[in-house]
C-alpha cells in the first residue's frame, strides 16, 4: 500500500470487482480508521461495507444497520463499527448512539450517510458510489483520502 495522502481517484467497477476492491481495502488498512460510505439508495454502500469487513477479518455475517443504526463486529485487529445514519435528523442525534466513543476508539468505523453527522464527522476516507446509467451491474467508485494523514492514507489498490 502506498501512502498517498491528499489524492483522489475514480474507478469503474462491476459488482464482483467492487467486492474484491473492498476486501483488499479491508486487508490493507489498520485502525483507527473512519470510512465515509456515500451514495444514493441502492448504490452499493452496504455491499462495499460487507466486503471491507470480510477483508478486515470479520467472520460473522455483516448486515445493514438501517434500523439498529449501529452494528459492532469483532475482528482480529480491532472492533468494527458499521453505522447507518440515514434515519437521523442531524448531528444532535449522534450522542445517543455513543458516537464520540465510537469515533475515538481504535477501530475501523464505517459510516453510511455520513452527511447526517455534519460537523461531528471526523476526518475520513471518503468512498462515494454512483450508478452508471445504462449499466445496472456497474458502479463508479470515487476514492478520496484528502482528509487523511500520510500514515493512514488509502493505497493505490485497484
Cα(128)–Cα(57) distance, rounded to whole angstroms? 23
- Supply the pLDDT for residue 50: 97
What does the angle CA 116 – CA 149 – CA 24 come to, to the nearest 5 degrees? 80
Which CATH number applies to 10-146?
3.40.50.300
- Supply the pLDDT for residue 150: 44
- Supply the pLDDT for residue 53: 98
Examine the pLDDT at 29 and tell me if it is beyond 60: yes
Task: Choose among 83, 125, 75, 77: nearest CA to 101.
Answer: 83
Examine the pLDDT at 152 and tell me if it is beyond 60: no
pLDDT category of residue 6 using cuts at 50, 70 and 90: low
pLDDT in tens, 79-98: 999 999 999 988 999 999 99
Lowest mean pLDDT among 2-11, 74-83, 87-96, 145-154: 145-154
- Supply the pLDDT for residue 19: 97
User: How much is the average pLDDT of 71-85?
Assistant: 97
pLDDT in tens, 40-58: 988 999 999 999 999 999 9
Amino acid at each position: 500500500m502506498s501512502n498517498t495522502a491528499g489524492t483522489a481517484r475514480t474507478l469503474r467497477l462491476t459488482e464482483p470487482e467492487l467486492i474484491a476492491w473492498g476486501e483488499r481495502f479491508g486487508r490493507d488498512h489498520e485502525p483507527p480508521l473512519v470510512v465515509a460510505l456515500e451514495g444514493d439508495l441502492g448504490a452499493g454502500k452496504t455491499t462495499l461495507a460487507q466486503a471491507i469487513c470480510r477483508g478486515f477479518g470479520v467472520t460473522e455475517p455483516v448486515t445493514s444497520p438501517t434500523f439498529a443504526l449501529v452494528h459492532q463486529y469483532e475482528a482480529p485487529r480491532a472492533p468494527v463499527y458499521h453505522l447507518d445514519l440515514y434515519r437521523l435528523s442531524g448531528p444532535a442525534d449522534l450522542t445517543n448512539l455513543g458516537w464520540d466513543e465510537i469515533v475515538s476508539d481504535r477501530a475501523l468505523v464505517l459510516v453510511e450517510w455520513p452527511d447526517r453527522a455534519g460537523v461531528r464527522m471526523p476526518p475520513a476516507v471518503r468512498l462515494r458510489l454512483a450508478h452508471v446509467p445504462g449499466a445496472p451491474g456497474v458502479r463508479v467508485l470515487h476514492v478520496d483520502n484528502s482528509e487523511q494523514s500520510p500514515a493512514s492514507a488509502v493505497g493505490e489498490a485497484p
